[in-house]
Structure 1
């Protein structure tokens, strides 16, 4: 029993809870909005692989790894580290109803970093709005891990 848990442990646990909530909410919303991408067994399998590729652990299970020690995946500290996960997130969203025309083109890693960041931001806004439109509440999204001194 931890009467006074270390701040770092508390931060890691809260982050992990938010991360898992985000995964399950994304799966649920994708099941609802991405139904065209799941027509047959093979398409469902490919879709699940695409969803897994959004996360560094390549898993959608709860507590499947050690608690996070640093930002990774969609929250990675560098553009180059974030881009592969965001490309997968973008592909998932692109199959949803009402996906913005301005985002139909895949991200180009050779393009202007600023423009790609703006596209990533637009994807995030589309996800949040889609979630709200379909559930009536904002989604839970993990934020950056901050060091606790």
Structure 2
């Protein structure tokens, strides 16, 4: 069976943390996400669900405060006499299937009053996580022949786009204090990561001619860097939209 792309969101859409006008709601979103974050990252990395959550399901989950106790209490109430589950109960059942009891039970220890800088860094990380794993899944679909022929080699190529030795998951390290990889402030710093990204997407169908020509250090100028980045970005965004039916999650600058 060919690898099929799931159009759901691997991680909460970062806009969820930018939208709440009430501080209490934002605190609830952040607290719930931090409680389930390690387990969910591990699951996405090693044992992805069959269907990823939609933005609405993520919103329901982050704002629910659902626990095993509250689920059990609800089943003993007046609604237990109903013939079938309500829409809210169906959503909770889906949430339970997705995140599991271990994740839901961790929500009792909630963070309150998060500082603004922490909120900014959590939002930045969600952009990074979304980009990493959406790129992985899109590439596994478009370059499935390469993955089938050389699983280890193509996985290493994917991981080489991002600094660090832990693949796509780098979140146990100290938070970065400067932009890195393809977003480095120097051409020397950008080149190795941009070349790997360039190498990865040039295996996709209809890649622009500019992305097929290897990048050479002696001709890699500011102008060349901008041209390749512009072409690669436009190609990635359009290709992603064609297969997911929505815009991709894209990286952002580190909040300093």
TM range (shorter): 0.7 to 0.9
- 2:209 equivalent among 101, 104, 110: 101
Q: Secondary structure at the match of 1:39?
A: helix
CA contact (8 A) 1:108 1:116 kept: no
Map Cα deviations across residues 1-51 of structure 1 (whole Å, 9 max, x no partner): 5433222222211111111111110010001111121232xx111000000
Which residue is 1:61 aligned to? 169
Report what 1:84 is aligned to: 192
Indicate the structure whose relative CO is greater, using CA pairs within 8 Å and at least 6 residues apart: 1
**Is the alpha carbon distance of 1:92 and 1:64 closer, same or farther for their aligned partners in structure 2, counting shifts above 3 Å?**
farther
Q: Quick one: distance in 2 between partners of 1:91 and 1:136?
A: 25
Query: How far apart, CA to CA, are the structure 1 residues paired with 2:176 and 2:169?
Result: 15
Higher share in helix: 2
Which of structures 1 and 2 has the bigger CA Rg? 2
Cα distance in 1 between the residues matched to 2:242 and 2:248: 10
Query: How large is the Cα RMSD of the aligned pairs?
Result: 1.7
Asked whether 1:143 is paired with 2:252, we answer yes
For normalisation by structure 1, the TM-score amounts to 0.88
Distance 2:111 2:190 in 1: 35
Q: Post-superposition shift, 1:78?
A: 1.8
Structure 2 distance, partners of 1:98, 1:120, is 17
Count of matched residue pairs: 145
Give distance in 2, aligned partners of 1:134 and 1:29: 8
- TM-score by structure 2 length? 0.53
In the alignment, structure 2 segments of 5+ residues that lack a partner are: 1-109
Out of 129, 143, 147, the position equivalent to 1:20 is 129
Query: Quick check: 45-54 or 29-38, which moved more?
Result: 29-38
**1:19/1:142 contact within 8 Å kept:** yes
- How far apart in 1 are the matches of 2:158 and 2:247? 20
In 2, the alpha carbon distance for the partners of 1:77 and 1:116 equals 12
- 1:48 is matched with 155
More divergent stretch after superposition (114-123 vs 91-100): 114-123
Q: Which moved more, 1:59-68 or 1:99-108?
A: 59-68
